[in-house]
């Protein structure tokens, strides 16, 4: 409320929040860049670590936030998207209303490298062997319609292409993933997927809107349920206030939303069409009571907290925004959802980024700090030894020189040990790489799909699927056994280099493997429910079943193998590299010790010079330690974020 007692409606909430997130990401990337450049000059990180930091900086620069909207038809989803994001244009960008609704999943974003356009993937592409994510990365086979952003009046007509349909036989419809029990001729969406590239300030700030049209589309495109929607920064599930949670809404929620990991943090429920509860004769107090009752009923039906249900009128909100009607916007209650999305979504993405950067930076700073402490310890030890030489005889100099030579031999022995450990590490890396090879997982998936297509009797489908999971589970479990060998090897290396050579070996985290098997268990349960049931076998042809299996289960298993393979390689490398760096540093220090002894054997003045050099070296390394701490503290301040719910 303002100082004058009137309600202040938040304006430009999305733009402000996205700008705040962009500024934070930029500050974080700048600090990582500053540390990376300083660490390179100070010889504290190797090429691999440099590349890792540069990758994080690029990832922060190209970040996109996706908001996914999910609802059955006639819930006002397109109207809500128009009201939340595109009301400043004064038009309905997405088609809405009877007979003018979006029939295919649509992704709305802005990529300045491409012209404004609508790219459309024909529905017939479902008969192709490629998964949806592979088709999204391949420009071939898409139809492209140019857009003129300056022609506001013509844009809605261009967007009507999202509502186009075609008429096919029920057999063709079934083969394309639609229900099999249909009339002889049936009307289906013309397009499978749409990518709308449109220059708008919110989209240019990194926002992506994902519009998913109902249960049928999600059931036929499991890639959306298993990857695109769970990866979204926020999910808005919509129901209508005039009907409440229908059976179709309940099925859509339970099958595609409630199963998402972390849904309590990322999903909000929009209870749309509260304007239908106002008939002109009820006092406003009664209307508010009816709205509150609907909110509680919706929350109970979906099993969510009432604070996550936002009652609103997208129609009123859009009209109020286009007419700059403050009172109408307040009655629509649209701004409450807008605020929750803008602030909560941005905050959650900060939390996610902070967790990712913290995990990477912790190991990198530990490696850098270990090298600094090693350099400082060497300089202090040599300085102490050389101070004892002042005024002493040549015999002591020779004794220290022999000590330095012995130290060189010890380091050479450590390097031989290191070669042995590296050989074992490379052998184990090859073994685990073969077991977790994503290409092999893909081949197994393709073989299983072909087996499903060639199965003569439905009774053989269950055995084929069981055989598939036995194969991929066997490879995962084999990889986990090799990872256990790697961990044992790491433990032996830590003990050896720490006790025999006095090296500061950082103890990294144990590599977590249970998550891969848990995800495989979840997919197998999904497969049991959706592919081996009697209903599935009756309503889906073998061709449809085989394609759906590959697009859902097999693609997700390939993704599990990709993650496991990439993370195991990074984990193993993060152990070997610091040991290599310390050995190299020890070698350089020993060489410097021997060189220094040679220089001072016959000249007291050389001793004074060397002591001065060591004092300067200690000061320089102490400065490096202070700078490293300063960089770490700046990152810590940027990464310290309180956690709270999206709602």
Q: Specify the CATH number for the domain of residue 138.
A: 3.40.50.300
pLDDT at 397: 61
Same domain assignment for residues 202 and 273: yes
Same domain assignment for residues 309 and 401: no
Smallest Cα–Cα separation from 318: which of 488, 150, 87, 110?
A: 87
pLDDT at 9: 46
Same domain assignment for residues 569 and 477: yes
What is the C-alpha separation between 376 and 192, in angstroms, rounded? Answer: 63
pLDDT at 311: 92
Same domain assignment for residues 311 and 210: yes
Same domain assignment for residues 469 and 580: yes
Residue owning tokens 């006790």: 499
| Residue 303 counted as domain residue | yes
Same domain assignment for residues 324 and 397: no
Predicted TM-score (pTM) above 0.75 = no
Smallest Cα–Cα separation from 123: which of 204, 20, 217, 245?
A: 217
- Assign residue 76 a region (left: φ > 0; alpha: ψ between -120 and 50; beta: otherwise): left
| Ranges of H-type helices in 210-325 | 214-220, 222-223, 247-256, 263-266, 284-302, 314-323
8 Å CB contact between 414 and 586: yes
* Residues 6+ positions from 391 with CB-CB distance below 8 Å: none
Same domain assignment for residues 311 and 429: no
| Residue 355 counted as domain residue | no
pLDDT at 535: 46
| Ranges of H-type helices in 166-280 | 170-175, 201-204, 214-220, 222-223, 247-256, 263-266
| Residue 540 counted as domain residue | yes
As for how many domains the chain has, the answer is 2
- Assign residue 180 a region (left: φ > 0; alpha: ψ between -120 and 50; beta: otherwise): alpha
**DSSP for 430-475?**
HHHHHHT-HHHHHHHHHHHHHHHHH-SSTHHHHHHHHHHHHHHHHH
Same domain assignment for residues 456 and 543: yes
135 token code pair: 């088709």
Phi and psi (nearest 5°) for 646?
A: -60, -35
pLDDT at 32: 92
| Residue 469 counted as domain residue | yes
| Residue 384 counted as domain residue | no
87 token code pair: 């009301």
| Residue 517 counted as domain residue | yes
Q: How far separated are the first and last CA of the chain, in Å rounded?
A: 21
Q: What is the CA radius of gyration of the chain?
A: 32
Same domain assignment for residues 208 and 136: yes
Same domain assignment for residues 483 and 562: yes
Please state whether beta strands 117-122 and 143-146 pair in parallel, antiparallel, or not at all (unpaired): antiparallel
Decide: helix, strand or coil at residue 66.
strand
DSSP bridge partners of 330: none
pLDDT at 46: 83
pLDDT at 170: 80
What is the C-alpha separation between 10 and 17, in angstroms, rounded? Answer: 12
- Residue 475's domain comprises 393-601
| Helices 555-600, 346-387: inter-axial angle, 10-degree rounding | 20
| Residue 421 counted as domain residue | yes
| Residue numbers in the chain where pLDDT is lower than 70 | 1-12, 97-100, 179-182, 279-281, 389-401, 456-459, 502, 504-510, 530-547, 593-606, 642-647
> What would the 3-class secondary structure string for 104-153 be?
CCEEEECCCCCCCEEEEEEHHHHHCCCCHHHHHCCCCCCEEEECCCCCCC
| Residue 22 counted as domain residue | no
Same domain assignment for residues 274 and 126: yes
Q: From 601, 619, 639, give the residue that closes a domain.
A: 601
Question: Residue 65 belongs to what H/E stretch?
Answer: strand 65-71
pLDDT at 69: 93
Same domain assignment for residues 264 and 400: no
What is the C-alpha separation between 579 and 501, in angstroms, rounded? Answer: 11
Smallest Cα–Cα separation from 251: which of 211, 311, 181, 302?
A: 302
């Amino acid at each position: 409320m303002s100082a004058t007692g009137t309600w202040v409606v938040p304006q430009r909430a999305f733009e402000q929040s996205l700008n705040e997130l962009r500024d934070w990401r930029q500050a974080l990337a700048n600090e990582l860049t500053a540390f990376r450049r300083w660490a390179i000059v100070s010889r504290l990180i190797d090429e691999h670590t440099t590349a890792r930091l540069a990758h994080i900086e690029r990832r922060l620069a190209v970040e996109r936030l996706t908001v996914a909207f999910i609802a059955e038809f006639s819930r006002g989803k397109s109207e809500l998207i128009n009201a939340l994001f595109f009301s400043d244009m004064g038009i309905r960008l997405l088609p809405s209303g009877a007979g003018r609704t979006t029939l295919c999943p649509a992704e709305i974003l802005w990529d300045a490298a491409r012209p404004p356009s609508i790219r459309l993937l024909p529905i017939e592409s479902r008969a192709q062997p490629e998964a949806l994510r592979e088709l999204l990365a391949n420009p071939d086979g898409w139809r492209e319609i140019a857009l003129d952003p300056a022609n506001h009046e013509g844009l809605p007509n261009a967007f009507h292409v999202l509502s186009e349909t075609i008429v096919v036989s029920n057999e063709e419809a079934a083969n394309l993933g639609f229900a099999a029990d249909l009339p002889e001729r049936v009307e289906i969406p013309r397009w499978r997927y749409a990518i709308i590239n449109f220059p708008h300030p919110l989209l240019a700030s990194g926002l992506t809107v994902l519009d998913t049209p109902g249960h049928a589309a999600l059931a036929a495109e499991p890639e959306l349920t298993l990857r695109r929607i769970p990866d979204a920064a926020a999910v808005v599930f919509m129901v209508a206030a005039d009907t409440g949670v229908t059976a179709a809404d309940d099925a859509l929620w339970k099958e595609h939303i409630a199963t998402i990991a972390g849904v309590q943090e990322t999903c909000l429920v929009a209870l749309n069409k509260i304007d239908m509860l106002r008939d002109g004769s009820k006092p406003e107090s009664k209307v508010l009571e009816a709205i509150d009752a609907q909110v509680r009923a919706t929350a109970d039906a979906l099993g969510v907290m009432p604070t996550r249900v936002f009652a609103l009128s997208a129609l009123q909100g859009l009209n109020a925004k286009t007419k700059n009607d403050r009172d109408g916007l307040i009655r629509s209650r649209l701004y409450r959802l807008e605020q929750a999305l803008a602030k909560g979504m941005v905050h959650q993405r900060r939390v996610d980024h902070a967790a990712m950067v913290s995990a990477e930076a912790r190991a990198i700073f530990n490696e850098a700090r270990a090298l600094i402490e090693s350099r400082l310890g060497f300089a202090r030890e040599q300085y102490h030894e050389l101070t004892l030489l002042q005024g002493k005889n040549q015999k002591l100099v020779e004794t220290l020189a022999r000590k330095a030579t012995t130290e060189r031999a010890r380091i050479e022995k450590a390097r031989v040990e290191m070669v042995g450990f590296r050989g074992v590490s490379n052998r184990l890396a090859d073994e685990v790489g073969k077991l977790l090879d994503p290409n092999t997982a893909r081949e197994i998936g393709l073989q299983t799909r072909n087996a499903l297509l060639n199965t003569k009797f439905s009774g053989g489908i269950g055995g084929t699927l069981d055989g598939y999971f036995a194969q991929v589970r066997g490879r995962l479990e084999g990889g986990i056994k090799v990872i256990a060998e790697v961990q044992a090897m790491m433990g032996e290396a830590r003990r050896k280099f720490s006790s025999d050579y006095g090296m500061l070996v950082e103890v990294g985290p144990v590599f977590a493997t249970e998550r891969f098997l848990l995800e495989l268990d979840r997919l197998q349960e999904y497969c049991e429910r959706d592919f081996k049931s009697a209903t599935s076998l009756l309503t889906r042809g073998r061709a449809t079943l085989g394609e759906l299996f590959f697009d859902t289960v097999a693609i997700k298993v390939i993704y599990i193998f990709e993650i496991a393979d990439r993370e195991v390689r990074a984990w193993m490398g993060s152990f070997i590299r610091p040991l290599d760096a310390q050995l190299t540093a020890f070698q350089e220090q020993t060489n410097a010790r021997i060189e220094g002894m040679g220089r001072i054997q016959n000249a007291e003045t050389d001793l004074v010079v060397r002591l001065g050099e060591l004092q300067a070296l200690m000061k320089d390394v102490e400065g490096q330690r202070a700078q490293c701490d300063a960089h770490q503290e700046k990152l810590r301040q940027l990464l310290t974020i309180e956690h709270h719910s999206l709602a």
